[in-house]
Amino acid sequence: MIEFSNALAERMRLVTAPGTSSMRSKANALRAQGIEVVNFAAGELFFDASEGMRRHAVAAVNGRRNRYTPPLGMPELRERLAEHLSLRLGVRYAPDEVAVTCGAKQALFNTALILLNPGDEVLIPAPYWETFPTQIQLAGGVPVIVDTTRSGFRPRVEDLHAALTDRTRMIVLNTPNNPTGVVYDESLLRDIGEFARRHGLWIVFDECYGELVREGHVHHNVVSLCPELKAQTIVVNSFSKSHAVTGWRVGYAAGPRQVIGAMHNLQGHTTSNPSTLSQYAAHGVMEDGDPSFLHTVNTFLEDQARIAREIVGEVRSISVAPAEGAFYLYLRVASRLGGRYGGRPIETIDALAELLLGEAHSAVVPGSAFGDPCGLRISYAVETSALTQGLLKIRDVLNAID
């Protein structure tokens, strides 16, 4: 007889709550007690949705756009995305090579389920976005973690090669990177692209932060640099970050026709189409072609990054990843682990994150969520007053650990 108190499927042993949502929950619990908390853990802009997205969504509501679309999205949105990709990457994409998904997360999970067989290995540079390995495991794959903390948070081809086996089937590239904020340069992407071509690997290219890049840096797509890789690359992107609509759940994947066709079949049995209203809004802003919101966001993030770097620079004996894109500062705080704060031992990065929440009233994400036992991720996409207030408290707590 089934023990209903212990009846979960075995696969759920692979799934734990994301570190970002865990810290958000803890911060909310403190707020419920009347304690003001700065939330540096959220992977989203504090901005309201872009004016274009809001306007086109309202028009869709008023136009009674309430029905199903095809599983992979409105034909006109897929066509517009294909045109956009073709122009941006210099490689032609057809509408049936593009899938609209319920956020980038679904595009990534679709890809893992479609391309991985049980036991297939996937190379993932670390620190990584925490969802990558979990989705791969749920699809039956095996994450193979490649450390980048000793190479400027950029994967070296020699390290990728050392991790290669006869079971390796895929590599995940995420630039601008979450959690480090590092932007992979042209030379690095060409080298990794050649590595993938030579060994016949699928490339999952996550560029969800591609439009959020700091001055002096340029985002490159591996397909634009190596057009011959189009046949083995799944490009994943989203409107969430660039238009401040993380809750609207509208992303997309672009890849070989056979893969996108399989996504149609899979998505038709899971979520069906993404939100119709979100699709109309996304199509509308693409038709508008207005860059003003993105310009405002990047100008704001430039100032925020400067303030954040200045304050964090006052913390002794830590290192910080280059804040080149996205909206994160990534701190390496190994020197604080094993120390004490007011007599209290700080043995792990999770304990340090808990300390910062309790003493600095600031929620950060511990590196354990990203495959790094010595890192902290701090989002600087918060209001300026909160950024300064929270980081000054974090600085003081970190400097008080001996």
What pLDDT score was predicted for residue 27?
A: 80
List, in order, residues 6 or more apart from 178 with CB less than 8 Å away: 43, 129, 208, 209, 326, 328
Give the largest Cα separation in the chain, rounded.
64
Residue 284 identity (one-letter amino acid) = G
What pLDDT score was predicted for residue 15?
A: 84
Instruction: Assess contact for 23 and 363: CB atoms under 8 A.
Output: yes
Residue 364 identity (one-letter amino acid) = V
What pLDDT score was predicted for residue 5?
A: 62
What pLDDT score was predicted for residue 1?
A: 52
pLDDT truncated to tens, each residue of the chain (402 aa)?
Answer: 556 667 788 888 888 877 677 777 788 888 888 889 999 998 899 999 999 999 999 999 999 999 999 999 999 999 999 999 999 999 999 999 999 999 999 999 999 999 999 999 999 999 999 999 999 999 999 999 999 999 999 999 999 999 999 999 999 999 999 999 999 999 999 999 999 999 999 999 999 999 999 999 999 999 999 999 999 999 999 999 999 999 999 999 999 999 999 999 999 999 999 999 999 999 999 999 999 999 999 999 999 999 999 999 999 999 999 999 999 999 999 999 999 999 999 999 999 999 999 999 999 999 999 999 999 999 999 999 999 999 999 999 999 999
Instruction: Assess contact for 359 and 332: CB atoms under 8 A.
Output: no
Number of helices (H) and strands (E) in the chain: give both, helices first: 13, 15
Tokens of residue 303, six digits: 């100032």
Judge: domain 66-288, CATH 3.40.50.1220: no
Query: Would you kindly state where each structural domain of the chain is located, as residue ranges?
Result: 4-48+293-400, 66-288
Instruction: Assess contact for 269 and 241: CB atoms under 8 A.
Output: no
What are the strands, taking DSSP E only, across 221-347?
233-238, 251-254, 319-320, 328-332, 339-341, 344-346
- Look up the pTM and report it: 0.95
List, in order, residues 6 or more apart from 336 with CB less than 8 Å away: 318, 346, 352, 398, 401
What pLDDT score was predicted for residue 35?
A: 86
CB atoms within 10 A of CB 218: 10
User: What element of type H or E holds 168?
Assistant: strand 168-174
* CATH code for the part of the protein at 4-48+293-400: 3.90.1150.10
**Sole residue written with tokens 């001055």:** 215
Tokens of residue 228, six digits: 């011959």
Instruction: Assess contact for 175 and 219: CB atoms under 8 A.
Output: yes
Tokens of residue 35, six digits: 């304690």
What pLDDT score was predicted for residue 26?
A: 80
What pLDDT score was predicted for residue 357?
A: 95
